Amino acid sequence: MKKVLISACLLGDKVRYDGNSLLSQHEILQRWIAEGRVISICPEVSAGMSIPRAPAEILGGDGNDVLSGSVRVIENTAADVTGMFLKGAENALALCKKQHIEVAVLADFSPSCGSSAIYNGEFSGTKIEGVGVTAALLIANGIQVFSQHQLADADKLLG
């Protein structure tokens, strides 16, 4: 049976930057849990970041740009947390490799998972959409990444 990597916050773990979760009760996710398919991770927490923690954003690009070293992940306190985000992404990839995972469902609108609200240069409120750091690394390594809004598409790949 194929396993699927799931953002821990979607499973109800209170690991988000604000100490909350994004619990999903979707029937497909509940079936995967019952089938024993789900492997969970919060990349930021796996890298040692605290709960709660300051909000962070990718400045001037997306997760692919962070992987290339051309942009940074910065907290709203101005602290550079790029290294922690890269470590979390590497932890997620290592887990996928260990568990032979080919499909991941990551939380939308996160600078680590899924799509990301990306600020252009400063916390100015001007947002563009892009992929997060963990999503970018997984995709670059052949893992199919979906948001929590695309569970039916992910389910088709799991068979």
159 CB-near residues (< 8 Å, 6+ apart): 2
Mean pLDDT along residues 125-144: 82
How many degrees, rounded to 5, is the angle at CA 36 between CA 28 and CA 132?
65
Top-ranked range on mean pLDDT: pick from 88-92, 124-128, 143-147? 88-92
Residues in the chain: 159
Residue 127 confidence (pLDDT): 47
Mapped onto helix, strand or coil, the DSSP state of residue 10 is helix
Q: Compute, in degrees rounded to 10, the torsion defined by CA atoms 82, 124, 114, 139.
A: -60
Q: What is the reported pLDDT for 129?
A: 62
pLDDT at residue 159 in the model = 81
Taking a C-beta distance cutoff of 8 angstroms, is the pair 9, 22 a contact?
yes
Per-residue model confidence as pLDDT tens digits over 5-51:
999 999 999 999 999 999 999 999 999 999 999 999 999 999 999 99
Which carries the bigger pLDDT value, residue 128 or residue 159? 159
Q: Dump pLDDT digits (tens) for 110-123.
A: 899 975 444 444 44
pLDDT in tens, 80-110: 999 999 999 999 999 999 999 999 999 988 8
